[in-house]
Copies of this chain bind each other. A is one copy, B any other.
């Protein structure tokens, strides 16, 4: 878990496996002892080590045995109720990992498209960009547009609420935000136009999609990889 992320699998190299075993055994014992102290519970760990005929036990064999015996005397139903078996444990961890994967994929996607937009704003052509990237790009621009619009509305409201004394500055500001919004809209329209040209150049796209459910014509919603259920091009085509 350091210097490099190690895969959760049997370590083939003998030397490093032994080193890891020693370290982790020590760490585990410490953890058991801490849990025991901090929470005032009886706990034990039993490790049936490699090349050893007897396991290492903490805090002692007798304690461990006593604890297990208490458990054994319970009816089986009670046992299984609280017992965390390996399958349930692994299933639970797998679920968590899947969720993390999805989260990371979404984040990655977001940054990819943001970078793409930056390149676009820096004048790089969109000819070689894939359909997926383009549609996500449009979503991102749309999203940013909304933020800009909301922001301009806020600024307008604040300006209107200001005192009459500031009438001149107010009108100047309204001009300014209006201009800002107009420019952004123009930029958006340019990108969308570029995208449509690009689509038209990509013959395979037409081969895959049948004419009557062409994305740009239906107005339906589409789920993008990085934002669940986000309306596609919502508000861009009135």
Q: Is the CB of B35 within 8 A of A93?
A: no
Interface 1/0 per residue, A76-114 and B, CB below 8 Å: 001101111110011001000000000000000000000
Give Cα A54–Cα B42 distance, bound, in whole angstroms. Answer: 11
Given the known interface contacts A24-B39, A68-B68, A79-B54, the answer about A34 and B8 at a Cβ–Cβ threshold of 8 Å is: yes
Within 8 A of B (CB), among A1-34: 6, 8-11, 17, 20-21, 24-25, 27-34
Q: Which residues of B contact A47 (CB under 8 A)?
A: 35, 41-43
Residue A235 interfacial (CB < 8 Å)? no
Q: Which residues of B contact A58 (CB under 8 A)?
A: 84, 86, 89
Give Cα A34–Cα B45 distance, bound, in whole angstroms. Answer: 14
Q: Is the CB of A31 within 8 A of B29?
A: no
Residue A65 interfacial (CB < 8 Å)? yes
Q: Which residues of B contact A30 (CB under 8 A)?
A: 93
The interface size of chain A toward B, counting residues with CB under 8 Å, comes to: 62
Given the known interface contacts A35-B25, A59-B86, A84-B57, the answer about A46 and B68 at a Cβ–Cβ threshold of 8 Å is: yes
Residue A184 interfacial (CB < 8 Å)? no
Residue A223 interfacial (CB < 8 Å)? no
Residue A53 interfacial (CB < 8 Å)? yes
Given the known interface contacts A61-B71, A78-B53, A85-B59, the answer about A21 and B48 at a Cβ–Cβ threshold of 8 Å is: no
Q: Which residues of B contact A86 (CB under 8 A)?
A: 33, 58-60
Q: Is the CB of A83 within 8 A of B70?
A: no
Give Cα A52–Cα B67 distance, bound, in whole angstroms. Answer: 12
Q: Which residues of B contact A84 (CB under 8 A)?
A: 29, 56-58
25 A-B pairs (CB sep. < 8 Å): A8-B38, A10-B40, A17-B40, A24-B38, A29-B84, A32-B45, A33-B93, A41-B47, A41-B49, A43-B45, A43-B46, A45-B46, A54-B70, A54-B71, A54-B83, A56-B83, A57-B84, A58-B84, A58-B86, A59-B85, A60-B83, A61-B71, A61-B83, A65-B68, A65-B72
* Chain A positions near chain B (C-beta within 8 angstroms): 6, 8-11, 17, 20-21, 24-25, 27-35, 37-50, 52-61, 64-65, 67-68, 70-72, 74, 78-79, 81-86, 89-90, 93
